[in-house]
Amino acid sequence: MTEPVKLGKPDARGNYKRDLGWKVQDGQYVQHRFYVGNDPTAAMHRVERLEHLWDALEATWNERRQSGIASPLHLGDERPVWNHFTLVVAMAVARGDAEVKIDPAADEDFAHALHSPMGLAEWFGKLSALVAGCGVRLVLTPEGQRVANEGRESIRQFAARKIERARKEIAQAKKEHDAVPHPVVSTPNDGETLHKALDAFADFLGTKYVTRDGITTPAGKRYQRQTKQIKEYAPDMPLSAFGLAEIDGLLATWQRRPISNRKGTPLSVETVRDVIKRIRQFLPWLHRSPFNWRLPDDYAPARISIKYTAAELSARAQPHGRRTYKVDELCTLWEYASPWERLLIILGLNCGFGAAEIATLQLDEITIDGPHGHYPIHGSFIKRIRFKTGVYGEWMLWPETVRAIEWMKRRRGANPETALVVTQNGRPLNQQTAGGSRNMRIPNTWNTLLKRVRKDFPDFRKLSFNKLRKTAASFVRRKYGGEVAGMFLAHGRVVTDDLLERYADRNFRPVFKACRHWRKVLGKMFARVADPFPTSDTKHNPSVTLGTIKRMKELRQQGMPIKAIAAEVGLHRATVRTYLDK
């Protein structure tokens, strides 16, 4: 996990809880609630082990789905789920038990396994490997242990026959090989090492996190880069020497935040958290991989605290307005922006959309000049489920936002894509590049706008595009409170009562009121440009900055000839004449 374990408030009895994973109940998928005790330290430790167990279950399910081979563990068809046995183990972890007794006969669908010693032994071995590292030891019931022992003996006999047959085949092949003279060729050492295992793990990540087209996702590429970082800071060694002390040493190295080879400063806390998560994913993968390595019996993931330095804490202090734009800055951005850039700005300010929300906005989620359908009001709205959180949200659109959407619809023409915002080539903005990288069209567009502004205002702040979302949300929270701001941002939890969302619908009318109020505050921004979304297809982001154009017109009004103006602003006379004639 990229974030440390956080516990919510305990219930009335003082117990902490954690909803994790899925199970099938009454034909539907629901999350299971685990109670992890009333001691905060022990509760955090148990939650971390539970999350480790669920990550291992998901990884096993994904591997089986990609291979197309049915899993004897029965971890779900459509998605990974807790089954009877994994849930028994998880509940033991939540209680803090040191071991849990497994009774194969407890599940009617699995009772037949008792009649197959080899099948039971194989199943119990795979279940034990799945839960390795979660801090609990599996113990079969006496009857199950007897049958499993018979199965292990059968497996050993079968393996012995296979080994003996392989030895005979190898001996025969060697005899035939020695009969023919061959030149001596030196071969590299093929021993299993830590770096080879990390390389194989990186290859696995590239096949696990893929799109439908088989291209590695941006997340998968990021995980591969993190695996490469592990390799850079970990000395290579035989896997046989990679034991508990070496695992602890590797984690301790990252907890101390190693020095970046590029910057010469300690790696960021966020980077270290991500890499530690990748190490914890690597260990159970290596345990289940073809490599001859197994997790130490006494290995148990412990919570790792990563500290900021005093200087970093001081730099992280966020005084008011540091993460948000001022209205005067928004006025400048609006004036310097092209219609395409203004579309991004207004969706960020009106609806609190970031780059991901804009890229996934669908045409059928937009209502222009019509009844709301639930409230007795008329207007233009966006109603959608946020892609990231799965939370439903509604926003009332400003007249300028409607004009921006209509401008985008004219530009996209009869494109069959369902997304509103597409490139000039008709591609949606959430589509990966040919190399599988994340689409950077919106961040790159924003950086281009900032460069244009900073030519005239060198001290203009360089805030990211998603700071528009924070700017709008900060205003809504300041004027209308946290609950309305949470609905404006389409966050999953906007109140402290976990059950309220299940019993009561959200009231979006305060969100609409906040949108109208926010529009009034931005009135002078819209007044900067008379026609922000013209119908013409001419270029609207000139290479010459607005400040330079204003300067040329001022000098011309003072009676200065074009030749002198060109010398003053550093442009060709023909360029000066072109802008003065507009």
Asked if residue 422 and residue 334 are part of one domain, the reply reads yes
Asked if residue 498 and residue 445 are part of one domain, the reply reads yes
Asked if residue 57 and residue 76 are part of one domain, the reply reads yes
| Paired residues of 452 in beta bridges | none
Residue-wise DSSP of 270-336: HHHHHHHHHHHHHHHHHHHSSSS----TT--------PPPHHHHHHH---TTTTS--HHHHHHHHHH
pLDDT given for residue 153 in this prediction:
53
| Token pair in block for residue 57 | 């279950």
Asked if residue 342 and residue 444 are part of one domain, the reply reads yes
Could you tell me if 471 and 464 are in contact, meaning their C-beta atoms sit under 8 angstroms apart?
no
133: left (phi over 0), alpha (psi -120 to 50) or beta: left
Rounded Cα distance, 470 and 352, in Å: 7
Mark which of 260, 294, 316 sits at the end of a domain. Answer: 316
pLDDT given for residue 68 in this prediction:
65
Distance between start and end Cα atoms, the chain: 57
Residue 2 scores a pLDDT above 50: no
Compute the mean pLDDT over every residue in the chain, rounded to the nearest whole number.
84
Rounded Cα distance, 116 and 150, in Å: 9
- Residue 9 resides in a domain: no
Q: Counting Cβ atoms within 10 Å, is residue 570 exposed (0-12), middle (13-18) or buried (19+)?
A: exposed
| Paired residues of 301 in beta bridges | none
Residue 189 scores a pLDDT above 50: no
**Residue 23 in 3-state DSSP?**
strand
| Token pair in block for residue 400 | 């300028």
Residue 164 scores a pLDDT above 90: no
- Residue 7 resides in a domain: no
Rounded Cα distance, 514 and 477, in Å: 9
Asked if residue 334 and residue 298 are part of one domain, the reply reads no
Could you tell me if 442 and 382 are in contact, meaning their C-beta atoms sit under 8 angstroms apart?
no
pLDDT bracket for residue 434 (50, 70, 90): low
pLDDT tens readout for residues 539-560: 555 677 778 888 888 888 888 8
Residue that is written with structure tokens 């490469």 in the block: 228
CATH number of the domain encompassing residue 492: 1.10.443.10
Q: Which residues contact 405 (CB under 8 A, 6 or more apart)?
A: 343, 366, 368, 397, 420
Residue 176 scores a pLDDT above 80: no
Asked if residue 364 and residue 256 are part of one domain, the reply reads no
In percent, how much of the chain has pLDDT > 70? 84
Q: Lowest-pLDDT range, 14-28, 70-84, 158-172, 240-254? A: 158-172
- Residue 112 resides in a domain: yes
- Residue 5 resides in a domain: no
Q: Give the rounded distance of the alpha carbon of 53 from its chain centre.
A: 20
The whole domain housing 399 covers: 327-526
- Residue 520 resides in a domain: yes
Asked if residue 478 and residue 445 are part of one domain, the reply reads yes
Torsion of CA 367, 373, 377, 382, to 10 degrees: -30
Mark which of 105, 126, 154 sits at the end of a domain. Answer: 154
pLDDT given for residue 194 in this prediction:
94
- Residue 2 resides in a domain: no
Long-range contacts of residues 12-21, Cβ cutoff 8 Å, at least 24 apart: 13/38, 14/38, 16/40, 16/43, 16/47, 18/47, 18/50, 18/94, 20/47, 20/50, 20/51, 20/54, 20/90, 21/54, 21/57, 21/80, 21/81, 21/82, 21/90
Buried b (16+ CB within 10 A) or exposed e, 458-491: eebeebebbbbbbbbbbbbbeebeebbbbbbbbb
Asked if residue 249 and residue 342 are part of one domain, the reply reads no
- Residue 163 resides in a domain: no
Rounded Cα distance, 198 and 285, in Å: 10
Can you give the pTM of this predicted structure?
Answer: 0.58
Rounded Cα distance, 89 and 101, in Å: 9
pLDDT given for residue 263 in this prediction:
79
Asked if residue 479 and residue 554 are part of one domain, the reply reads no
| Token pair in block for residue 410 | 């004219």
Asked if residue 361 and residue 226 are part of one domain, the reply reads no
Residue 110 scores a pLDDT above 80: no
- Residue 283 resides in a domain: yes
Asked if residue 471 and residue 442 are part of one domain, the reply reads yes
Rounded Cα distance, 102 and 81, in Å: 18
Within 337-398, residue ranges assigned H as helices are 339-351, 355-359
State the total domains in the chain: 4
pLDDT mean over 381-385 = 95
In percent, how much of the chain has pLDDT > 90? 40
Asked if residue 411 and residue 348 are part of one domain, the reply reads yes
